[in-house]
Amino acid sequence: MRTKLDCIPCIMNQALRAGRAALNVSGIEEREHTLRAIMNRVAMLIPGMDLSKTPPEVASEVYEIVSKLTGVKDPYERVKMNHIDKALEIYPKLKEIVQSSEDKLLMALKIAIIGNAIDLGSLADEIEVLEVFNELFRGKWMLDEEALKLFREVLESAEKVLYIADNAGETVFDRPLFELIVENGKKVKYAVRSYSIVNDATREDALRSGFPEEVIIETGSKYAGVLLEDCSQKFRRAFKNADLIIAKGQGNFETLSHERGPIFFLLKAKCRPVATALNVPIGSLVFKASPNFTRREVPMNTLS
Amino acid sequence: MRTKLDCIPCIMNQALRAGRAALNVSGIEEREHTLRAIMNRVAMLIPGMDLSKTPPEVASEVYEIVSKLTGVKDPYERVKMNHIDKALEIYPKLKEIVQSSEDKLLMALKIAIIGNAIDLGSLADEIEVLEVFNELFRGKWMLDEEALKLFREVLESAEKVLYIADNAGETVFDRPLFELIVENGKKVKYAVRSYSIVNDATREDALRSGFPEEVIIETGSKYAGVLLEDCSQKFRRAFKNADLIIAKGQGNFETLSHERGPIFFLLKAKCRPVATALNVPIGSLVFKASPNFTRREVPMNTLS
């Protein structure tokens, strides 16, 4: 997805929020002065911004400015840990709900989707993790029935599943679905960012959330999304070989919606450009097959 | 009120919205190109923005850019007429509610306050005027009881009242209060902007809303607020001589909150900086006496 004009004021808001979060941990006293300098630097980027790039690519420069001017590499480090810990408190409840559901897979998908509300990029300053849970009951659900049918079918025959994470804390909401797929005998990898960007999950965040070391794979990239050309060879291979790809959140949608593959998007549509691209109202909890969905071709040599 | 850092992304959003509204009427075909040019020009203003100025002063440059690059002087002209006409449809209902209220003045004040939701500066693209009416029942009311008592007292003894309008359409919601004060035998002037800015009410809008020609006075200024130093001598005199000043909306609050005088602010607090300055939650429907409230001194020569 290309960056839209509406993304420009949003990115400036992100710079301001990330700048404030960074200053909260940096100890710099001249807050207003530093924030103004951040805003000015971001403003000066605008005329040169290449809107044919995806929003995570454009936004990454902005987060670099915040890091450079505050000296803080990971403004949301503490916030991420706090979100994970809060989510872990309700993890037993999440598991219980799935276990007691008639349609366990559907419930696990829904829990994974509401978890995507824990996003500090496109959303508000503060998120109450416990309130996210209530979205399960009062959220605007936009689950594509055809896509759900297709998902069940693809999962049934899949051997390798790639689950691409989005935010820290949301990671805990991913676990019931991830674990259900593991219980079904599939080989599942949980992909996280290689570097701290916004509140996206890294290896440390996945571990803290309770994922075992051996299932975690990194994208190799610095972006808050999956730009395949910037990812490691190892990740690209996992992507290419997966029979089923679950991509969480806006950043992954923005960077993967044009890619061919067995991709399903699970997210909360938090801004107008993404909601428009998905053809849903803002705030919707979305399950969709990729517009460029293709089944993974079975290699010739495995055919009997 | 000084411009806050949060105002910067908001002003960029305003530029985008006003740009789109202008393009809807201009017939220019290269929409994206023109909008991008607007965003770039606004971005280049940011490093030089003087945040010690009020938000309406800072924003005015942005609206000038929109007009210059689209050739449209008044992007919201049609929208304003539509808002007024919609509001006129429910005007009889507004009057009836006031008439049948035990406390007519309080109800008229409340209706004037909900009308301030019709703001295209700090709010969304589109406003459903009929939905504004529902705020009367389900709005977040923050009416300062002390200020209400003071208002009744000041009104009681007032001879001259200055009612400073904000947005077109809201003007119709102002009428019940305005007319009640007239019925109480006061001399009331209804002040509007001299030039089209955002969707602020001008003389034409006040006339269309049903105000008689003779009560209308213009600020003489180009800003979406009241910067006394930029206003006409006639307006300044009216301001100085009024025993009671009713100032509607964020722009008038932002530009008048530091001025001394018998000023009361009636508004919906639509953004964080204004809500913070008023110490209320965002979205509150507010009635407050000015932090610099002073009664009008009675000139010596009128004392007997």
B172 and B105 within one domain: yes
Partner residues linked to A192 by β-bridges: A218
- Tell me what pLDDT residue B232 has: 98
- A22 part of a folded domain: yes
Long-range contacts of A101-109 (CB under 8 A, 24+ apart): A104/A180, A105/A152, A105/A155, A105/A177, A105/A180, A106/A148, A107/A176, A108/A176, A108/A177, A108/A180, A109/A143, A109/A148, A109/A151, A109/A177, A109/A266, A109/A287
A205 and A169 within one domain: yes
pLDDT bracket for residue A277 (50, 70, 90): very high
- Tell me what pLDDT residue B298 has: 66
- Tell me what pLDDT residue B101 has: 97
> CA of B281, closest CA in chain A: separation in Å?
15
A287 and A146 within one domain: yes
pLDDT bracket for residue A301 (50, 70, 90): low
- A242 part of a folded domain: yes
Which range marks the domain in which residue B52 is found?
Answer: 7-70
> CA of B47, closest CA in chain A: separation in Å?
5
Which residues in chain B are closer than 8 Å to A40, comparing Cβ atoms?
Answer: 46-47
A118 and A38 within one domain: no
Helix (H) or strand (E) holding A84: helix A77-99
Instruction: Tell me the one-letter amino acid at A265.
Output: F
Which residue from B35, B36, B46 is facing A43, i.e. has the nearest CB?
A: B46
Which residues have C-beta within 8 Å of that of residue B253, sequence separation ≥ 6?
A: B1, B247, B265, B267, B274, B277, B278
B177 and B86 within one domain: yes
Q: Which of residues 19-38 of B touch A (CB under 8 A)?
A: 32, 35-36
Q: Which of B70, B85, B111 is the last residue of a domain?
A: B70
- Tell me what pLDDT residue A300 has: 61
Q: Tell me the pLDDT tens digit for each residue of A118-168.
A: 988 765 567 788 889 989 999 999 999 999 999 999 999 999 999 999 999
Contact A9 B5 (CB under 8 A): no
Q: Tell me the pLDDT tens digit for each residue of B105-158.
A: 999 999 999 999 998 876 556 778 888 998 999 999 999 999 999 999 999 999
- A2 part of a folded domain: no
Helix (H) or strand (E) holding A14: helix A7-26
- B98 part of a folded domain: yes
Distance (Å, rounded) from C-alpha B3 to C-alpha A241? Answer: 53
Cβ–Cβ contact B9 with A under 8 A: yes
Q: Which has the closest alpha carbon to B201: B93, B119, B88, B257? A: B119
Which residues in chain A are closer than 8 Å to B13, comparing Cβ atoms?
Answer: 6, 9
What is the count of residue pairs from A and B with beta carbons less than 8 Å apart?
A: 50
B152 and B30 within one domain: no
B220 and B180 within one domain: yes
Buried b / exposed e along A224-253 (16+ C-beta atoms within 10 A): bbbbeebbeeebbebbeebbbbbbbbbbbb
Which residue from B6, B10, B44 is facing A47, i.e. has the nearest CB?
A: B44
- Tell me what pLDDT residue B300 has: 61
A186 and A55 within one domain: no
Contact A44 B43 (CB under 8 A): yes
Contact A44 B39 (CB under 8 A): no
Contact B5 A12 (CB under 8 A): no
- Tell me what pLDDT residue B127 has: 78
ipTM value of the model? 0.88
Here the tokens at position A146 are 């055809």
Instruction: Tell me the one-letter amino acid at B54.
Output: T
Q: Which of B39, B70, B101 is the last residue of a domain?
A: B70
- B264 part of a folded domain: yes
Helix (H) or strand (E) holding A158: none
Which residues in chain B are closer than 8 Å to A44, comparing Cβ atoms?
Answer: 43-44, 47
Contact B40 A32 (CB under 8 A): no
A145 and A108 within one domain: yes
Which residue from B6, B35, B43 is facing A46, i.e. has the nearest CB?
A: B43
What is the number of structural domains in chain A?
2
Q: Which residue would you say has higher pLDDT here, B242 or A300?
A: B242
Ranges of residues in chain B with a pLDDT under 50 are 304
- Tell me what pLDDT residue B296 has: 86
For residue B113, the domain's CATH number is: 3.40.50.10880
A22 and A99 within one domain: no
- B1 part of a folded domain: no
> CA of A235, closest CA in chain B: separation in Å?
36
Contact A40 B32 (CB under 8 A): no
- Tell me what pLDDT residue A298 has: 66
> CA of A42, closest CA in chain B: separation in Å?
9
A279 and A257 within one domain: yes
- A280 part of a folded domain: yes
Distance (Å, rounded) from C-alpha B51 to C-alpha B7? Answer: 9
- Tell me what pLDDT residue B121 has: 77
pTM, entire model: 0.90
Contact B9 A5 (CB under 8 A): no
Which residues in chain A are closer than 8 Å to B10, comparing Cβ atoms?
Answer: 9
Q: Tell me the pLDDT tens digit for each residue of A226-273.
A: 999 999 999 999 999 999 999 999 999 999 999 999 999 999 999 999
- Tell me what pLDDT residue A299 has: 61
Q: Which of A31, A51, A70 is the last residue of a domain?
A: A70
Q: Tell me the pLDDT tens digit for each residue of A3-28.
A: 999 999 999 999 999 999 999 998 88
Q: What is the mean pLDDT of chain A?
A: 94
B170 and B26 within one domain: no
- A1 part of a folded domain: no
